[in-house]
């Protein structure tokens, strides 16, 4: 299976129909059907050990406010997979990364909102894994590397966040606001580094990338990219699923990272 990094955007993605959501639908229809989805979401951070959702029927977490009432009534009754959760914990521990199962945690909107578009029938089991706190890109790459063998079992690994995510500068009143140059410059830089397989530059983005401070004021939305890259191996190819922005500077860039065919 490939690895996916999805910029999940606003919770409204769960009910909207536009070019972005259609791109997610097409991706779900064209990818080989996974045995399960493992999600590393910007919206589940925890102190060590790494926590792995092991509920058989994970509930939904409506971890957002100020949106239309219909969003809080949405369902996504995907099953969990205690077996895969146990496997993940064992793989992380074997890699020297403390990890435990968490049977109580549900799926936050960084997981269920995009999956509602990618796999709308909610039949694919979903397991969510935390972003540890504190963390470094190197630690996240190591987590991804430990998860990588799951790909051979048909598991789709998804990092869910956003390349450019600065809520203080989002133009909330206009989804189709003109793209702001500072946001585009950082987004373009990241895409170019992915094309070049320059993981070292991405790790050092704070010093090397244009407008990094404005684009990534806090790291939780960018960091799932490092888990995805860690799970991708050294030789990979990147395919764009969607490229563009909502609300002026909220990057919706979504990519498939697969094994290189060269």
Q: Are 131 and 42 in contact (CB under 8 A)?
A: yes
Work out the percent of the chain whose per-residue pLDDT is above 90: 97
pLDDT at 262 over 80: no
Distance CA 77, CA 97 (A): 30
Express each pLDDT in 63-74 by its tens digit: 999 999 999 999
Express each pLDDT in 53-107 by its tens digit: 999 999 999 999 999 999 999 999 999 999 999 999 999 999 999 999 999 999 9
* Model confidence pTM above 0.85: yes
Express each pLDDT in 11-29 by its tens digit: 999 999 999 999 999 999 9
Express each pLDDT in 177-198 by its tens digit: 999 999 999 999 999 999 999 9
Express each pLDDT in 142-166 by its tens digit: 999 999 999 999 999 999 999 999 9
Those residues whose C-beta lies under 8 Å from the C-beta of residue 86, and which sit 6 or more positions away, are 54, 101
Give the closest residue to 158 by CA, choosing from 72, 245, 224: 224
State the average pLDDT over residues 109-123: 98
Helix axes 137-147, 82-94, angle to 10 degrees: 120
pLDDT at 212 over 80: yes
Cα radius of gyration (the chain): 17
Q: Is the sign of the CA dihedral 249, 217, 129, 233 positive or negative?
A: positive
Burial of 218 (0-12, 13-18, 19+ CB in 10 A): exposed
Express each pLDDT in 223-260 by its tens digit: 999 999 999 998 899 999 999 999 999 999 999 999 87
Residue 259: the pLDDT is 83
The 3-state DSSP class for residue 132 equals strand
CATH topology of domain 3-259: Protocatechuate 4,5-dioxygenase; Chain B (3.40.830)
Distance CA 43, CA 189 (A): 25
The 3-state DSSP class for residue 167 equals coil
Residue 261: the pLDDT is 66
Q: Are 191 and 214 in contact (CB under 8 A)?
A: no
Length of the chain: 262
Torsion, Cα of 258, 15, 180, 39 (10° steps): -30
The 3-state DSSP class for residue 115 equals helix
The 3-state DSSP class for residue 241 equals strand
State the average pLDDT over residues 208-224: 98
What is the pLDDT of the chain when averaged over all its residues?
97
Distance CA 205, CA 211 (A): 10
pLDDT at 200 over 80: yes
Distance CA 149, CA 84 (A): 12
Residue 160: the pLDDT is 98
Q: Are 112 and 158 in contact (CB under 8 A)?
A: no
């Amino acid at each position: 299976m490939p690895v996916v990094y999805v910029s999940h955007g606003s919770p409204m993605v769960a009910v909207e129909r536009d070019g972005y959501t259609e791109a997610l639908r097409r991706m779900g229809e064209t990818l080989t059907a996974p045995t399960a989805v493992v999600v590393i979401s910007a919206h589940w951070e925890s102190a060590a050990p790494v926590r792995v959702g092991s509920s058989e029927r994970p509930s939904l977490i409506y971890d957002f406010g100020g949106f239309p009432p219909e969003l809080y009534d949405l369902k996504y009754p995907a099953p969990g997979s205690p077996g895969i959760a146990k496997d993940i914990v064992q793989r992380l521990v074997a890699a020297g990364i403390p990890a435990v199962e968490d049977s109580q945690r549900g799926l936050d909107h960084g997981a269920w909102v995009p999956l509602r578009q990618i796999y709308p029938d909610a039949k694919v089991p979903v397991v969510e894994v935390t972003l540890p706190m504190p963390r470094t890109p190197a630690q996240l790459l190591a987590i991804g590397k430990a998860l990588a063998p799951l790909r051979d079992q048909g598991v789709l690994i998804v990092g869910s966040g956003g390349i450019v995510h600065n809520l203080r500068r989002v133009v909330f009143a206009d989804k189709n606001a003109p793209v702001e140059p500072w946001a585009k410059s950082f987004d373009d830089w990241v895409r170019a580094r992915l094309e070049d397989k320059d993981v070292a530059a991405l790790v050092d983005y704070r010093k090397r990338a244009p407008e990094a401070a404005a684009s990534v004021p806090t790291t939780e939305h960018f960091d799932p990219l490092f888990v995805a890259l860690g799970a991708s191996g050294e030789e990979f190819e990147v395919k764009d699923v969607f490229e563009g922005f909502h609300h002026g500077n909220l990057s919706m860039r979504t990519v498939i990272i697969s094994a290189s065919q060269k």
